[in-house]
């Protein structure tokens, strides 16, 4: 297993749309293990393959307190959503930046697991928000892009200043 490099906003590769996984192989399962290890080490609660420069529709999530309930979503598709939430979100690709995004409170998602088994999951609250956030990555969208252009510009300036101070 390996810790993967997480792309940092505004890296253009974060805007690349992920392709469906045609076949789940040992390579896919190795990616899942590496993504999980990367997410836990960061630490984070979700990671999309796009964030580690692999443009396939793979997501890992663990919103549990104990960090032992890994959820793997391959080729996820939201088939239903309801309600309204505005959780404060953060992102491993946009470190140190947090803000609210309007999302559905509940989602029903259909996906494959690492054993190539199809399943349907009803998610609420934080898990639902995390699924939507990570699925945005698969579509090439970062959460800060829901904000006004002014706020995005300020966020980018803050990130660039932070990067300069760590060099």
Residue 164 — very low, low, confident or very high, per pLDDT cuts 50/70/90? confident
Active-site residue 134, yes or no? yes
Number of Cβ within 10 Å of residue 92's Cβ equals 21
pTM for the model = 0.96
Other beta carbons within 10 Å of 99: 17
Whether the per-residue pLDDT at 42 is higher than 80: the answer is: yes
Mean of the pLDDT values across residues 123-133? 98
| Whether pLDDT at 1 is above 90 | no
Question: CA–CA separation, 57 vs 46, rounded Å?
Answer: 14
The tokens 């996984």 sit on which residue? 21
Mean pLDDT for the chain overall: 96
**Is the C-alpha dihedral spanning 81, 85, 86, 92 positive or negative?**
negative
Place of tokens 């890296």: 11
Tens digits of per-residue pLDDT, 81-105?
999 999 999 999 999 999 999 999 9
Which pLDDT band holds residue 111 (cuts at 50, 70, 90)?
A: very high
Residue 62 has pLDDT above 80, yes or no: yes
- Cα(21)–Cα(72) distance, rounded to whole angstroms? 13
pLDDT of the residue at 162:
83
Domains of the chain: 12-165 (3.90.45.10)
**pLDDT tens across 131-146, in order?**
999 999 999 999 999 9
What phi, psi does 134 have (nearest 5°)? -70, -35
Among 77, 134, 139, 145, the one annotated catalytic: 134
Instruction: Give the closest residue to 54 by CA, choosing from 34, 70, 72.
Output: 34
Asked if residue 10 has a cis previous peptide bond (ω within 30° of 0), the answer is: yes
Give me the percent of the chain exceeding a pLDDT of 70. 99
Q: Which residues contact 18 (CB under 8 A, 6 or more apart)?
A: 48, 49, 50, 55, 56, 57, 58, 137, 138, 139, 140
Report whether pLDDT(4) > 90: yes
């Amino acid at each position: 297993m390996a810790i993967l490099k997480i792309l940092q906003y505004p890296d253009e590769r974060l805007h690349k749309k992920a392709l469906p996984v045609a076949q789940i192989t040992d390579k896919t399962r190795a990616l899942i293990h590496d993504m999980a290890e990367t997410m836990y080490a960061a630490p984070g609660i979700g990671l999309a393959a796009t964030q580690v420069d692999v443009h396939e529709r793979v997501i890992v999530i663990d919103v549990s307190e104990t960090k032992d309930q890994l959820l793997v979503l391959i080729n996820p598709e939201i088939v239903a959503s309801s309600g309204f939430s505005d959780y404060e979100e953060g992102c491993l690709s946009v470190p140190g930046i947090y803000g609210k995004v309007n999302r559905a409170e509940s989602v029903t998602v259909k996906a494959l697991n690492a054993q190539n088994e199809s399943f349907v999951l009803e998610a609420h609250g934080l898990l639902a928000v995390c699924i939507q956030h990570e699925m945005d990555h698969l579509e090439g969208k970062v959460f800060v892009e829901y904000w006004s252009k002014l706020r995005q510009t300020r966020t980018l300036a803050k990130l660039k200043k932070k990067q300069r101070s760590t060099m």
